[in-house]
Amino acid sequence: MFTHVMVGSSDLERSRKFYDATLGTLGHGKAQSPEGAERFFYRSDTAGFGVGKPANGAPPSAANGGTIGFVAKDEDAVKAWHAAGLANGGTDEGAPGPRMDGAMYGAYLRDPDGNKICAFMRPA
């Protein structure tokens, strides 16, 4: 569906710590950064997620109404993702639990810059 998603950050090292922890619980490796770049990426076989300083030099801002969702393999992964986020500077936007009348299981966080993210899985 997409090649990559990018969010802005005012503090790349703080964001790297947050995303290494949260995305690590979902099986993604540590961030990769192009040499000299003010951004870093997590990659899968089909897409990437990036964090960086805005290219226009303006302060980063979180999308009003926007949410970025990450796939989790099971409920335990959702819970670990949420806990890792809270332990690494994120804020709760919705504790782990059933969503959509039990059709999904997920949790929501705000990253240290205010971007809304979630981890979801579809119960069998």
Tell me the per-residue pLDDT of 26-64, one tens digit each, with 9 for 90 and over. 999 999 998 888 999 999 988 999 999 998 999 999 988
E-strand spans in 4-121? Answer: 4-8, 39-43, 48-52, 68-71, 91-99, 104-110, 116-121
How many folded domains does the chain comprise?
1
Query: Does 24 map to a domain?
Result: yes
What's this model's pTM, rounded to 2 decimal places? 0.91
Query: Does 10 map to a domain?
Result: yes
How many angstroms separate the Cα of 94 from the Cα of each of 9, 44, 59, 119? 22, 26, 26, 11
What was the pLDDT predicted at 35?
A: 82
- CA Rg, the chain, in Å? 14
Query: Does 57 map to a domain?
Result: no
Range of the domain at 96: 4-52+67-121
User: Domain with 42 in it: what CATH number?
Assistant: 3.10.180.10
pLDDT cut 90: percent of the chain above it:
85
What was the pLDDT predicted at 109?
A: 98
Question: Residue 106: which of 114, 115, 116 has the closest Cα?
Answer: 116
Query: Does 84 map to a domain?
Result: yes
